[in-house]
Structure 1
Amino acid sequence: MNRKDIIIEKLKKHIGEKRARRINEVIQQRTNLIRVVIEDINYERNAGAVLRTCDCFGIQNASIIEKYYHEWVTHLIAKGAEKWVDIDRFDTPKTNNTLACIEKLKQDGYLVVACTPHNPDITLPDFEITKKTALLFGCEEDGLTNDALNNADLKLSVPIYGFAESFNVSVSAALILQDLVTKMRKSNMQWQLSEEERKDLEIVWLVRAMGRPGQLILKKIQAEVL
């Protein structure tokens, strides 16, 4: 066994076989192929719902954009909404965090898709996932900002057949993820994490599962296997 395998085996002894097995099972279903980005969502509960939806559909990475620094992001993180989803925060004061996030996504090879009911380039039933894709969702009242809409590669909408102009942002995220994750899993794309990514994530999750003592236990084990 290599060093990471040894660390994983030692960490497992601290949380019990059943829980360790469940962590490993869930990791096998995780993906980096789809990423969710939420921009300036006004209501903390909706942001939390989107992150829980990410977890349910196996989305491992999300980004939170704040045009201006707001403490509610810190509160959301503190509540543990990110426990099983890795979150990048773009909340630097006096910075256009939307542009900073989109630039980083494109550098990382993502197709940046703005989810909006207005003037879409394509609707959800016709959209096929063919590469790494980042889905941008905006605030409840105004939707995505012009910076997000103008710098995205594509605008995507969910068909609506009633009087309402749009879905609630958490509902929209759930509908889009259900469709795209299903398409992704039926495709021939390599959507699962690499072996090394799975090992790294398993270490992180085993430590998180222990709560406060986790980091101290990890440091002790790392010192033992040097």
Structure 2
Amino acid sequence: MDEKRQLIIDHLAHYLTDRRRETLERVLSLRTRHITLVLENIFQPHNISAVVRTSECMGMQDLHVVDNDNIYEVNKHVLKGSNKWIDIVRYKEKKANNIERCFTHLRTAGYKIYVTDPAVDGLPIHQIPIEEKFALVMGNEKEGVSEYALQHADRKVHIPMAGFTESMNISVSAAICLSTLLPKLRLSNTMWQLREEEKQIIRLQWLKKSIRRSDLIEQEFLRSIA
């Protein structure tokens, strides 16, 4: 781990109450990048904001947002500040196949890629193997995932349904998927936790977001130890 970063962490931690420090460490201990979500072309701000909030509440650290046709917008009333504590990775390059860029990034990082699709030929969500890292791709409210995503994913998955309606609101689908997969992951022998170096980086980010004028405090501290 980075020694200088740790010195800054130790200094900033004194500006938090014991209870706040304990909460920060508890939340950090439950964070994971073993599972991540990809949102493709979501055009309703309240839906994408609800997924961000749900992901953060459930212990996800990353969320990937692909903007090929629709621009990522949020609803602050729905977010409730959750976007402060989660890393949102955006793919929004103009005149580029951003879902392809996203898939390349994820595969380089060692992820399998699963797309959600209401077709029953996909694997039921509760049967997804959790031993390997994977990304779960969710499409927009009207058209679902793109043809590129369907053709290039490692597997299709679906949420089993018992009614006439074949689809759910995306924020509901995300909540069902995460509440099904994350408890299963945490009860397994899979190493789902963040690495210590990752924790250190995120810990410092969270401390800075928790303390007023943290940038000035950090600068003064660094001058004092120079």
**TM > 0.5 fold call:** yes
Matched, 1:56 2:57: yes
**Residues of 2 paired with 1:69 and 1:163: CA distance?**
29
Shift of 1:138: 0.9
Structure 1 residues 11-70: Cα deviation after superposition (integer angstroms, max 9, x where no partner): 112233221221111101101101111111111111111111111111101111000462
Instruction: Give the aligned partner of residue 218 of structure 1.
Output: 218
Instruction: Give the aligned partner of residue 27 of structure 1.
Output: 28
> Which residues of structure 2 form unaligned runs of 5+?
none
Q: Do the aligned residues in 2 keep the contact of 1:65 with 1:91 (CA within 8 Å)?
A: yes
**Residues of 2 paired with 1:126 and 1:114: CA distance?**
14
Deviates more, 1:170-179 or 1:214-223: 214-223
Q: Secondary structure at the match of 2:167?
A: coil
Alignment of 1:63-78 (within 5 A): 63-68=64-69, 70=71, 72=73
**Residues of 2 paired with 1:71 and 1:64: CA distance?**
8
Q: Secondary structure at the match of 2:102?
A: helix
Instruction: Give the aligned partner of residue 205 of structure 1.
Output: 206
**Structure 2 vs 1, CA of residues 114 and 80 (structure 1 numbering), >3 Å: closer, same or farther?**
same
Matched, 1:136 2:137: yes
**Structure 2 vs 1, CA of residues 169 and 2 (structure 1 numbering), >3 Å: closer, same or farther?**
same
**Structure 2 vs 1, CA of residues 163 and 194 (structure 1 numbering), >3 Å: closer, same or farther?**
same
Q: Do the aligned residues in 2 keep the contact of 1:7 with 1:225 (CA within 8 Å)?
A: no
**Structure 2 vs 1, CA of residues 79 and 29 (structure 1 numbering), >3 Å: closer, same or farther?**
closer
Query: Which residue type is aligned with residue 202 of structure 1?
Result: R
Q: Do the aligned residues in 2 keep the contact of 1:112 with 1:152 (CA within 8 Å)?
A: yes
Q: Percent identity?
A: 33
Instruction: Give the aligned partner of residue 86 of structure 2.
Output: 85
**Residues of 1 paired with 2:75 and 2:47: CA distance?**
15
Q: Secondary structure at the match of 2:90?
A: strand
Instruction: Give the aligned partner of residue 13 of structure 1.
Output: 14
Query: Which residue type is aligned with residue 132 of structure 2?
Result: K
Structure 1 residues 65-106: Cα deviation after superposition (integer angstroms, max 9, x where no partner): 000462626989x98542111011101111111111011111
> Which residues of structure 1 form unaligned runs of 5+?
none
Instruction: Give the aligned partner of residue 146 of structure 1.
Output: 147
Shift of 1:126: 2.0
TM-score scaled by structure 1? 0.90
Shift of 1:127: 1.8
* Aligned length, in residue pairs: 224
Structure 1 residues 100-147: Cα deviation after superposition (integer angstroms, max 9, x where no partner): 101111111100010111254311132221111111111111111111
**Residues of 1 paired with 2:86 and 2:121: CA distance?**
29
Query: Which residue type is aligned with residue 216 of structure 1?
Result: L
Structure 1 residues 126-170: Cα deviation after superposition (integer angstroms, max 9, x where no partner): 222111111111111111111111111111000010011111111
TM-score scaled by structure 2? 0.90
Q: Secondary structure at the match of 1:82?
A: helix
Instruction: Give the aligned partner of residue 168 of structure 1.
Output: 169
